[in-house]
Amino acid sequence: MANSKYEYVRAFEQPDVLLPNTWIVVRIDGRGFHGFTTKYKFKKPNDARALELMNAAAEGVMRELPDLVVAYGVSDEFSFVFHKDCTLFERRASKLTTTIVSTFSSYYVYLWPKYFPDTPLTPPLPSFDGRAVVYPSVRNLRDYMSWRQVDCHINNLYNTTFWALVQLGGMDAQAAEKELTGTLSADKNEILFSRFKINYNNEPEMFKKGSVIFRDSPLSHPLDDAGFPQPLSKTATEKDRKRRVKARIVVAHIDIIKDEFWAARPWILSGKA
Ligand code: DGT
Ligand code: MG
Ligand code: MG
Ligand code: MG
Ligand code: MG
């Protein structure tokens, strides 16, 4: 395109390239979902259909962006992780974030009728915000993931107890809140069991653990003796990409805080050295 006198406006664009060699996490979160979940009468505190819809939308995002290695979702939020070697969109934060947000939102609306067949969506339609944060080490990344899963556990135990007091115990919201002020996890477990015969351990795993999504792919990057991934040749890299695209995407409701999950699936965080 020929230069025009208008061309100078390009200089106003600010670069937003994320630090190289760092794990990129894009977290999206439903906008005003307090109201949205009320409007569509989501079951409290957890609506399995709604959570499955979130998971299905996230799976669509994973499918369309093979650079994503893992995702974790709870409530109205999802965190998507790009490998530290990812070069998609030259690692521009706004391009990565907006692509994930819009792909996720499209899938959420597209898949809605499958999960809520009797409840058509009407405006205002669901939307999501998003942000990108980089983490320099696997330790930091895993601590981030652990932070979200601990949050899931704390909130779910609180909400499960709160709604038991209200729905089964006939308390009003204020009284239930007061009852729970200052209680520890053990106290909430006890309230659930002694008053409502609910064993928290038997609650659905999706509610207790949230949802982790990953590719069920064999280790594509061999590790050296020190456990560092070996660099791949160009053809091997291309093969790996194809494998990623074809890999089955798995949704699981399991612990991602302890080492087991990661140790059993070394391909998730391995990559080009
Ligand atoms: P925001 O994110 O600042 O735009 O505002 P909200 O209202 O989305 O707030 P947020 O994201 O902190 O909290 C999520 C809301 O969504 C919270 O009110 C609980 C609700 N929510 C999420 N999942 C479920 C569900 O499965 N059932 C019900 N009833 N509510 C849910
Ligand atoms: Mg919020
Ligand atoms: Mg929200
Ligand atoms: Mg939220
Ligand atoms: Mg364009």
Q: pLDDT digit string (tens) for 189-200? A: 999 999 999 999
Measuring from atom 19 of ligand 1, which residue has the nearest CA?
Answer: 34
Q: Is the pLDDT score of 172 beyond 80?
A: yes
Local confidence band at 260 (pLDDT 50, 70, 90 cut-offs)? very high
pTM: 0.93
Q: Is the pLDDT score of 270 beyond 90?
A: no
Range 225-253 average pLDDT: 78
Range 126-152 average pLDDT: 98
Distance between CA atoms of 103 and 167, rounded to whole angstroms? 37
In the beta sheet, which residues pair with residue 252?
A: 212
The residues spanned by each domain of the chain are: 13-150+204-264
Q: Is 25 helix (H, G, I), strand (E, B) or coil?
A: strand
* Share above pLDDT 90 across residues of the chain, in percent, rounded to a whole number: 85
Q: How far is the CA of 171 from the centre of ligand 5 (A)?
A: 55
Range 149-161 average pLDDT: 98
Q: Is 125 helix (H, G, I), strand (E, B) or coil?
A: coil
CATH class (in words) of the domain with range 13-150+204-264: alpha beta
List CB-based neighbours of ion ligand 3 within 5 Å. 29-30, 33, 76
pLDDT score, position 228: 59
Q: Is the pLDDT score of 36 beyond 80?
A: yes
Asked if 44 and 163 touch (Cβ cutoff 8 Å), the reply is yes
β-strand pairing of 128-135 with 68-74 = unpaired
Our mutation pick for probing the ligand 1 site, out of 42, 51, 54, 75, counting the most ligand atoms within 8 A of Cβ, is 75
State the chain's mean pLDDT as an integer.
93
CA 86 vs. chain centroid, Å, equals 18
pLDDT score, position 35: 98
Check residue 89 and give left, alpha or beta (phi > 0: left; psi -120 to 50: alpha): left
